[in-house]
């Protein structure tokens, strides 16, 4: 599995997946509960009321939207997150355009945003410079004379891994990834060592014999050759074959997706001597020195099974193969800031071939994404100052308090859980740090030097600064207030090793949140997202961590067995969904997200009713409160995907496609009551088949 994807798992689980404030949980309604609006909130024009909710729930909520919405040529999918992102993208574009008029003072964050954006957008200069910006890096690779020098270059190429949702590049030229956080066993912050080295999403793309994967394999081999040719590298065909053959061996060395998802296998703490003894083939001292990790005595060997195999390949495979591989990935990971012909080739493979996207995004929108990825906090500060009112932050924090309180009440109501386990679970909820909108402390970019005509150099400098800032955390206690998402990102995340949540400002807008809409809509939409992220602390992976973020078994054997049984029922439920003949959603792969959806939706529903203060919910435009709640949830998961993108989602993503996540309602008794769903309905589940995890 690509090490950048593993870094996302270590960060936690995103919604498709809102800065840090401690939330005190009580059993009474929060005093911060916002005064709800009175508008409907849900989009009736999206609905197809000709179908019965119990037969085709997703179509009932989103049928007309599915019929009338078109996927833009520069997208592989659209949905609720795309709708919110479109608005955010326009706001960010307006902000950056305003910088052209205001001419920010040199050295300020605003000036850095403008310089980074302008350089990325200036394709004329990028094309004129050609391969000159990357040439020093290619010469450094060409000068490798032995395996010691190879180890030095492999180490020097290391960058800190972050959530790939914040990235504009698909991969990085690293055989190993480094992620910096508290170790799974608890204690001071350490560097994690992750498997890496693949240009395609994960090992199965190289090893599977299915027709789709065989086509991707052939296309990737052609892409390597075409990119090398366009970059002026001699003997491109021969080099491309060596690179591809090496990556197949790397893929065979990788842990499987199932092994990577099993955090119990990733708790090993190694010292420098362990790497030398357990993973010969790579000069680890030289590697760690070059990676600025030479003084570290403790590492979390996340892929302890794959690390020795990858190190052995360094020792056994010809030096020229590694030099070719490094050359290709140095170019491939930077095509966005290299000549247009390389950028176009990259899109043809990563965009069109792998996801079915018909054309690249406009350069100005990609420039915004590049700023977000590399100096995101600088733009985030400008964004929240203009577009995120204090009232929205207070409203969401009130909802968070209510949903946490509802979750505690649900724990208390469990009739199968041991009192000791209940107390540990409630402690975990109560001590959970919840960041809303933006961080208390923004990233310091004062030492970052950028220029409006150096797109490649700007990208390298930003990545190196981030890496140094991550390394500076090593040896310290985990900062529970640390943010891992930009304020302008439409998403949310649970951070298990911090026992914390981030809800960025940009998700706090329609179709997830609307200050004008009534409580039913907001609890069904953003409330379910909040509940989802809280519930990730109690999914099949999150439940293994205690309130301090340490991976520790705090369950009795009986409680864990009951929990696992409910999880397997949910696996079986999602295994039944079949987007293409013979291709089913993987209930095992998506289990954590599905648990969070079920538990989060139930907690949001309870919190919604608590927010009514004992009063009856109003009926608005013929829809009851409960109906609006469940429709809002389904519309938040409106999703339309190209076939290639949907197939990739099924193969690699821990999130089920949105149309199936919307069917989570089948497990809540209240949904049946709200829409009069009877046993003869196609989606009906008997009460004993409805999964209740928390």
pTM to 2 decimals?
0.85
* Same domain flag for 279 and 422: no
Q: What is the mean pLDDT of residues 406-430?
A: 90
368 versus 4: the higher-pLDDT residue is 368
Report pLDDT for 167. Answer: 36
DSSP conformation letters of 387-432 = H--HHHHHHHHHHHHHHHHHHHHHHHH-SSS-HHHHHHHHHHHHT-
Q: CA 416 to CA 272: how far, in whole Å? A: 46
Q: CA 460 to CA 450: how far, in whole Å? A: 10
* Same domain flag for 83 and 217: no
Q: What is the mean pLDDT of residues 104-108?
A: 94
5 versus 242: the higher-pLDDT residue is 242
What percent of the chain lies above the pLDDT cut of 70?
93
* Same domain flag for 255 and 304: yes
Number of domains the chain is built from = 2
Residue 452 lies in a domain: no
Within 8 A by CB and 6+ apart from 459, the residues are: 334, 336, 337, 370, 374
* Same domain flag for 494 and 563: yes
Q: What is the mean pLDDT of residues 374-389?
A: 95
Do residues 597 and 532 make contact, with C-beta atoms less than 8 angstroms apart? yes
* Same domain flag for 78 and 155: no
Report pLDDT for 185. Answer: 84
Burial 509-532, CB ≥16 within 10 A → b, else e: bbbbbbbebbbbbbbbbbbbbbbb
Q: What is the pLDDT of residues 571-604, one digit of tens each?
A: 999 999 999 999 999 999 999 899 999 999 999 9
Residue 298 lies in a domain: yes
Residue labelled with tokens 């078994």: 553
User: HEC string of 25-49?
Assistant: CCCCCCCCCCCCCCECCCCHHHCCC
* Same domain flag for 479 and 599: yes
The confidence band for 309, taking pLDDT boundaries of 50, 70 and 90, is very high
7, pLDDT greater than 70 = no
Residue 462 lies in a domain: no
Q: At what angle do helices 236-253 and 306-316 cross, to 10 degrees?
A: 150
Q: Where does a domain end: 312, 336, 367?
A: 367
Q: What is the pLDDT of residues 172-198, one digit of tens each?
A: 569 999 999 999 888 899 999 999 999
Q: CA 300 to CA 288: how far, in whole Å? A: 14
- Write the DSSP symbol of residue 552: -
4, pLDDT greater than 90 = no
356, pLDDT greater than 60 = yes
Q: Where does a domain end: 308, 336, 367?
A: 367
Classified as helix, coil or strand, 10 is: helix
Report pLDDT for 281. Answer: 98
Q: CA 120 to CA 375: how far, in whole Å? A: 13
Sheet of strand 433-437, all strands in order from the earlier edge strand to the far edge: 13-14, 493-495, 500-504, 433-437, 20-22
Report pLDDT for 263. Answer: 78
The confidence band for 488, taking pLDDT boundaries of 50, 70 and 90, is very high
- The full length of the chain comes to 694
Residue 450 lies in a domain: no
Q: CA 380 to CA 374: how far, in whole Å? A: 12
Residue 335 lies in a domain: yes
Q: What is the mean pLDDT of residues 362-387?
A: 96
The confidence band for 471, taking pLDDT boundaries of 50, 70 and 90, is very high
Residue 378 lies in a domain: no
Query: Please, what is the Cα angle at 664 between 659 and 669, to 5 degrees?
Result: 140
* Same domain flag for 243 and 363: yes
* Same domain flag for 393 and 304: no
* Same domain flag for 7 and 80: yes
Report pLDDT for 417. Answer: 87
Lowest average pLDDT, out of 160-174, 245-259, 297-311, 624-638, goes to 160-174
Lowest average pLDDT, out of 162-176, 401-415, 520-534, goes to 162-176
* Same domain flag for 70 and 166: no
Q: CA 99 to CA 102: how far, in whole Å? A: 5
* Same domain flag for 489 and 609: yes
25, pLDDT greater than 50 = no
Using alpha carbons only, how large is the chain's radius of gyration in Å? 25
Parent domain of 640: 3-91+389-440+470-689
* Same domain flag for 513 and 617: yes
Residue 107 lies in a domain: no
Residue 347 lies in a domain: yes
Q: What is the CATH number of the domain that holds 268?
A: 1.10.1380.10
Q: Where does a domain end: 367, 402, 430?
A: 367
Q: What is the mean pLDDT of residues 485-512?
A: 91
170, pLDDT greater than 50 = no
When the pLDDT of each residue in the chain is averaged and rounded to a whole number, the result is 90
166, pLDDT greater than 70 = no
Q: What is the CATH number of the domain that holds 607?
A: 3.40.390.10
Report pLDDT for 563. Answer: 87
Lowest average pLDDT, out of 109-118, 310-319, 494-503, goes to 494-503
What percent of the chain lies above the pLDDT cut of 90?
77
């Amino acid at each position: 599995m690509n090490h950048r994807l593993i870094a996302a798992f270590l960060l936690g689980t995103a919604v498709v997946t809102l800065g840090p404030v401690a939330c005190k949980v009580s059993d009474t309604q929060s005093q911060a509960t916002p005064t709800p609006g009175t508008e409907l909130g849900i989009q009736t024009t999206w609905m197809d009321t000709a179908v019965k909710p119990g037969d085709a729930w997703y179509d009932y909520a989103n049928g007309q939207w599915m019929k009338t919405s078109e996927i833009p040529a520069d997208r592989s999918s659209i949905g609720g997150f795309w709708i919110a992102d479109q608005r955010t993208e326009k706001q960010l574009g307006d902000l950056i355009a305003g910088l052209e008029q205001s001419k920010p003072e040199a050295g300020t964050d605003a000036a850095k945003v403008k310089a980074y954006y302008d350089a990325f957008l200036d394709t004329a200069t990028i094309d004129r410079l050609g391969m000159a910006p990357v040439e020093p890096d290619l010469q450094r690779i060409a000068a490798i004379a032995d395996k010691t020098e190879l180890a030095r270059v492999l180490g020097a190429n290391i960058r800190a891994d972050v959530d790939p949702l914040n990235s504009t590049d698909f991969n990085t030229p690293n055989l190993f990834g480094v992620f910096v956080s508290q170790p799974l066993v608890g204690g001071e912050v350490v560097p994690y060592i992750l498997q890496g080295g693949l240009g395609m999403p994960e090992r199965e793309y190289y090893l599977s014999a299915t027709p789709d994967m065989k086509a991707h394999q052939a296309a990737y081999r052609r892409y390597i050759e075409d990119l090398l040719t366009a970059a002026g590298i001699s003997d491109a065909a021969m080099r491309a074959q060596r690179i591809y053959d090496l990556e197949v061996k790397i893929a065979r060395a990788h842990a499987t997706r199932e092994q990577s998802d099993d955090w119990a296998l990733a708790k090993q703490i190694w010292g420098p001597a362990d790497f030398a003894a357990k993973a010969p083939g790579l000069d680890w001292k030289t590697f760690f020195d070059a990676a600025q990790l030479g003084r570290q005595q403790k590492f979390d060997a996340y892929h302890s099974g794959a690390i020795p195999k990858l190190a052995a390949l360094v020792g056994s495979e010809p030096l020229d193969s590694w030099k070719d591989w490094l050359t290709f990935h140095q170019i491939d990971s930077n095509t966005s800031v290299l000549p247009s012909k390389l950028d176009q080739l990259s899109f043809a493979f990563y965009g069109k071939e792998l996801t079915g996207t018909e054309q690249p995004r406009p350069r100005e929108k990609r420039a915004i994404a590049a700023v977000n990825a590399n100096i995101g906090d600088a733009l985030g500060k400008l964004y929240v100052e203009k577009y995120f009112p204090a009232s929205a932050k207070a409203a969401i924090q009130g909802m968070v308090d209510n949903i946490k309180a509802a979750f505690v009440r649900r724990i208390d109501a469990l009739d199968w859980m041991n009192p000791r386990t209940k107390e540990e679970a409630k402690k975990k909820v109560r001590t959970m740090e919840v960041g809303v909108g933006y961080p208390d402390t923004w990233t310091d970019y004062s030492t970052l030097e950028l220029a409006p005509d150096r797109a490649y150099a700007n990208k390298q400098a930003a990545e190196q600064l981030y890496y140094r800032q991550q390394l500076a955390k090593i040896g310290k206690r985990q900062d529970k207030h640390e943010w891992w998402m930009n304020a302008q990102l439409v998403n949310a995340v649970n951070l298990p090793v911090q026992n914390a949540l981030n809800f960025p400002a940009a998700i706090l807008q329609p179709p997830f949140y609307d200050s004008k809409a009534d409580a039913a809509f907001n609890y069904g939409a953003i409330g379910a997202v909040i509940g989802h992220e809280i519930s990730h602390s109690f999914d099949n992976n999150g439940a293994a961590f205690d309130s301090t973020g340490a991976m520790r078994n705090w369950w009795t054997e009986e409680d864990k067995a009951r929990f696992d049984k409910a999880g397997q029922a949910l696996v079986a439920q999602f295994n039944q969904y079949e987007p293409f003949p013979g291709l089913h959603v993987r209930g095992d792969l998506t289990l954590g997200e599905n648990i969070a959806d079920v538990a989060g939706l139930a907690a949001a529903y309870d919190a919604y009713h608590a927010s009514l203060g004992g009063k009856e919910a109003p009926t608005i435009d013929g829809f009851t409160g409960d109906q609006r709640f469940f429709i809002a949830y389904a519309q938040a998961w409106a999703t339309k995907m190209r076939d290639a993108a949907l197939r990739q989602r099924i193969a690699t993503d821990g999130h089920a496609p949105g149309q199936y996540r919307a069917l989570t309602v089948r497990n809540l008794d209240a949904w049946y009551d709200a829409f009069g769903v009877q046993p003869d309905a196609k989606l009906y589940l008997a009460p004993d088949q409805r999964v209740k995890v928390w």
